[in-house]
Amino acid sequence: MKNTILVTGGTGFIGSWVVKGLLEKGNTVRLTVRDKSKKEKYSFLQEIADKSEGTLELWEADLMKKGSFDAPAKGSDMIAHIASPFFLKIKDAQKDLVDPAVKGTENVLEAANKSGTVKKVVLTSSVASVHGDNIDMKNQNISIFTEEHFNTTSSLSHQPYSFSKVSAENKAWEINKKQNEWELVVMNPSFVMGPSLTTTSKSESLKVMTELLTGKYKSGAPDLKFGFVDVRDVAKAHILGLETEAKGRHILAESVAGILEMANVVKSTYEDTYKVPTSYVPRWLLMIVGPIAGFSRKFVRNNIGHDLKLDSSKSKEKLGLKYIPFEKTITDMVEQMKLQGIVK
Ligand code: NDP
């Protein structure tokens, strides 16, 4: 069935793939943008819409403007709430991360409440809402992180991005439980990689790959493990979340790896084209340079060299996801960056 779906964050790395998938299935997508005059942020989506069965509508709304999602929510059948700032270098954690994440979620869900038409909301949370530091697994005596777990160790001053994500997800469940008009389905992606449709996103995903290919880690990679998932699978999961009887939270992860494993894939495909690392930076060195490079000693202590296990079996069993392998994700991302002229 074709639906009218309000998408927040549709101009971003993940959101643009969600918008593309929904348009190709013939839906009407109500894309919210902060500023309609910034056409470079969404003109590529109009081009996709022109070639697809669906219809793209443009609405102006800002996470920080109360009531700004009310108009596009009215008449929508569903909402994919994807928008939230994803950058790690910030000046003011409350203002730059937590407020847009939490107040933004409140604004969008209040719009769902007022709409009288919205029946389902899919929220983009994160594995950062499942766990904080990698050491949490050991400290909390957990053998593998599942959808049962919530991050309890991040705060405004320690891992503020993760704090913004768990605070927003908690707020969403709280609002959802107070009504019975719309269902809430949550996606908890791990680190998202893969080809980007947008060239204007400031997502950490694109930043990390650009830094890897332009030599930032050439003298060594931190031994930091995180989950990886392809952006096309994350988009598919969101669309399945909207279309099917999906319930609750969903950890999205194909594998657990790190910068060095990314580098190994790059090296095996592109040989010496890019100056990628071949070994780890020692932990003691990170303890010294960390505070200068923008991460604390506590972050190093609690994350570097610690194991991480993520259980994504629910996404395979309930959503039927078949994940794109890590190697393909990485090489397709490099190819796209070459095409877009971001790297040589
Ligand atoms: P992007 O930065 O590419 O996308 C963020 C989107 O949010 C953009 O469309 C941006 O709009 C919008 N946005 C930000 N602030 C506001 C605001 N104040 N009002 C309205 N819209 C706003 O990041 P990603 O695509 O990587 O991330 C999207 C979501 O996925 C986020 O919720 C993030 O936390 C989550 N996530 C990302 C992961 C990853 O590895 N990339 C992993 C797990 C979760 P604009 O174009 O105007 O900037």
165 in Cβ contact with 265 (< 8 Å): no
Span from the CA of 130 to the centroid of ligand 1 (angstroms)? 18
Mean pLDDT of 263-278: 96
The pLDDT-based confidence of 295 (bands split at 50, 70, 90) is: confident
pLDDT at 146: 98
pLDDT at 277: 97
Q: Any residues with CB less than 8 A from the CB of 303 and at least 6 apart, and which?
A: 133, 134, 135, 224
Distance CA 273, CA 270 (A): 6
196 in Cβ contact with 336 (< 8 Å): yes
The pLDDT-based confidence of 1 (bands split at 50, 70, 90) is: confident
Distance CA 26, CA 52 (A): 7
2 pLDDT exceeds 80? Answer: yes
213 pLDDT exceeds 80? Answer: yes
Mean pLDDT of 84-109: 95
Going by CA atoms, what residue is nearest to atom 20 of ligand 1?
62
Span from the CA of 315 to the centroid of ligand 1 (angstroms)? 22
Of the given ranges (118-122, 199-203, 311-315), which has the lowest mean pLDDT?
Answer: 199-203
The pLDDT-based confidence of 89 (bands split at 50, 70, 90) is: confident
Instruction: Determine whether the shortest distance from the Cβ of 229 to ligand 1 is under 6 A.
Output: no
Going by CA atoms, what residue is nearest to atom 9 of ligand 1?
9
CATH architecture of 4-194+226-253+308-323: 3-Layer(aba) Sandwich (3.40)
Q: Which of 8, 11, 14 to mutate to test the pocket of ligand 1 (most atoms within 8 A of CB)?
A: 14
The pLDDT-based confidence of 21 (bands split at 50, 70, 90) is: very high
**CA dihedral (144, 150, 151, 153) positive or negative:** negative
pLDDT at 134: 97
pLDDT digits (tens, 9 = 90+) for 224-262: 999 999 999 999 999 999 999 999 999 999 999 999 999
Instruction: Determine whether the shortest distance from the Cβ of 62 to ligand 1 is under 6 A.
Output: yes
Domain ranges (residues) in the chain: 4-194+226-253+308-323
Instruction: Determine whether the shortest distance from the Cβ of 17 to ligand 1 is under 6 A.
Output: no
pLDDT at 237: 98
218 in Cβ contact with 277 (< 8 Å): yes
Burial class of 301 by CB neighbour count within 10 A (0 to 12, 13 to 18, 19+): middle
Instruction: Determine whether the shortest distance from the Cβ of 41 to ligand 1 is under 6 A.
Output: yes
pLDDT digits (tens, 9 = 90+) for 130-183: 999 999 999 999 999 999 999 999 999 999 999 999 999 999 999 999 999 999
pLDDT at 290: 85
Look at residues 112, 110, 105 and name the one whose alpha carbon lies nearest to residue 74: 112
Instruction: Determine whether the shortest distance from the Cβ of 191 to ligand 1 is under 6 A.
Output: yes
Look at residues 102, 125, 122 and name the one whose alpha carbon lies nearest to residue 239: 122
Going by CA atoms, what residue is nearest to atom 2 of ligand 1?
203
Going by CA atoms, what residue is nearest to atom 36 of ligand 1?
126
Span from the CA of 280 to the centroid of ligand 1 (angstroms)? 30
pLDDT at 233: 98
- Is 298 noted as a catalytic residue in this protein? no
The pLDDT-based confidence of 205 (bands split at 50, 70, 90) is: very high
Instruction: Determine whether the shortest distance from the Cβ of 147 to ligand 1 is under 6 A.
Output: no
pLDDT at 294: 81
Task: Supply 257's token pair.
Answer: 């790896």
Provide, rounded to the nearest whole percent, the portion of the chain with pLDDT above 70: 100
Of ligand 1's atoms, which has the minimum distance to the CA of residue 128?
A: 43
Burial class of 21 by CB neighbour count within 10 A (0 to 12, 13 to 18, 19+): buried
User: pTM above the 0.85 mark?
Assistant: yes
> What one-character DSSP code corresponds to residue 202?
-
Burial class of 71 by CB neighbour count within 10 A (0 to 12, 13 to 18, 19+): middle
Distance CA 96, CA 56 (A): 29
pLDDT at 132: 98
Catalytic residue among 20, 41, 120, 165: 165
114 in Cβ contact with 240 (< 8 Å): no
Give the 3-state secondary structure of residue 183.
strand
Look at residues 191, 149, 186 and name the one whose alpha carbon lies nearest to residue 171: 186
Q: Which of 36, 86, 102 to mutate to test the pocket of ligand 1 (most atoms within 8 A of CB)?
A: 86
Provide, rounded to the nearest whole percent, the portion of the chain with pLDDT above 90: 96
Instruction: Determine whether the shortest distance from the Cβ of 188 to ligand 1 is under 6 A.
Output: no
pLDDT at 88: 81
pLDDT at 107: 98
283 in Cβ contact with 305 (< 8 Å): yes
Q: Any residues with CB less than 8 A from the CB of 236 and at least 6 apart, and which?
A: 21, 321
The pLDDT-based confidence of 87 (bands split at 50, 70, 90) is: confident
> What one-character DSSP code corresponds to residue 310?
B
pLDDT digits (tens, 9 = 90+) for 28-53: 999 999 999 999 999 999 999 999 99
pLDDT at 110: 98
Burial class of 179 by CB neighbour count within 10 A (0 to 12, 13 to 18, 19+): exposed
Instruction: Determine whether the shortest distance from the Cβ of 208 to ligand 1 is under 6 A.
Output: no
